[in-house]
Amino acid sequence: MLMFSGKSVWCVVPAHNEQRLLPRMLARVPAWVDGVIVVDDASSDQTSRCVTACGDPRVHLLRHEHNQGVGAAIRSGYGLALDSGADIAVVMAADDQMDPADLPGLLAPLIADQADYVKGNRLRHVNAARMPLGRRIAAHLLGHATAIATGYSISDSQCGYTAITRDALDRLALSELWPRYGYPNDLLALAARAKLRVSEVPVAPVYADEQSGIRAWHFFSVGWLIGRRWARERSRDVVRAAADAATS
């Protein structure tokens, strides 16, 4: 094992039709990362072939036969990372939108035992203005709603550049994780239930030749998801309080 500060670090890379940018992303993974798990979520292009052809023995392919969504892909990747002995699991996008230079900073709060789950925050980076305006507005609004729903002091809930410890993954109810777009908000709600320590660190917003964007339905579907999870967690709290009162 290569180890980073005595910890085995594995990257989980959810991928769906990413043959164009995935090879570039894999080539930029730092040499000290112990393993990389690319979860091909039933791509119709050559995504899987890009993985097997990359020539890096650290890179492993996990393929979904049917498309399940990015949240489900990350959940599958987390499971394999744990089985492979990871102490820390990092999520990096297959479209090369996450700067590997930010990875040590993302890991630092975990290594110092100051957090259980760390999220990148593009809004606090010196180059935040590079984010398209629509994305910045949506990130601010959804971050505020997620902070209210979860109790965490966060602002960029939608950033997918994250790192989490093995112990934290064991404590999360990942079987309940929303499988598709909006999973970051749902994961934060599950983290709040598990009383995980969550922190954010600045990461660079990368927007060059990537073909991605946020649409109105994305915004409203995530808003619905936040409200749905909030209502479910409040219902759990009411049931738990009633049970405690009955036994006291």
**Residue 176 — φ and ψ, nearest 5°?**
-95, -5
**Sign of the alpha-carbon dihedral angle for 20, 100, 186, 39:** positive
> Is 215 inside any structural domain?
yes
pLDDT in tens, 46-93: 999 999 999 999 999 999 999 999 999 999 999 999 999 999 999 999
Residues 105-129: b if buried by 16+ CB within 10 A, e if exposed: ebbbbbbeeebbbbbbbbbebeebe
Cα 77 to chain center, whole Å?
A: 11
Mean pLDDT in residue range 120-129: 91
Number of domains in the chain: 1
pTM: 0.86
Structure tokens at 103: 């990875």
pLDDT confidence band for 239 (50 / 70 / 90) = low
> Is 248 inside any structural domain?
no
pLDDT in tens, 13-47: 999 999 999 999 999 999 999 999 999 999 999 99
Residue among 130, 63, 118, 53 at smallest CA distance from 91: 118
* Strand order from edge to edge, sheet including 198-202: 59-64, 35-41, 9-15, 88-91, 162-165, 117-121, 198-202
> Is 2 inside any structural domain?
no
Write out the residue range of the structural domain in which residue 164 sits: 9-242
> Is 122 inside any structural domain?
yes
> Is 145 inside any structural domain?
yes
> Is 3 inside any structural domain?
no
Q: Which residue has the tokens 């809004």?
A: 123
pLDDT of 225 strictly over 70: no
Residue 149, pLDDT score: 86
> Is 1 inside any structural domain?
no
d(CA 226, CA 162): 19
Q: Look up the CATH number of the domain holding residue 14.
A: 3.90.550.10
Give the end-to-end CA distance of the chain in Å, rounded to a whole number: 50
> Is 31 inside any structural domain?
yes
Residue 132, CA distances (Å) to 123, 127, 159 in order: 11, 11, 14
Residue 207, pLDDT score: 76
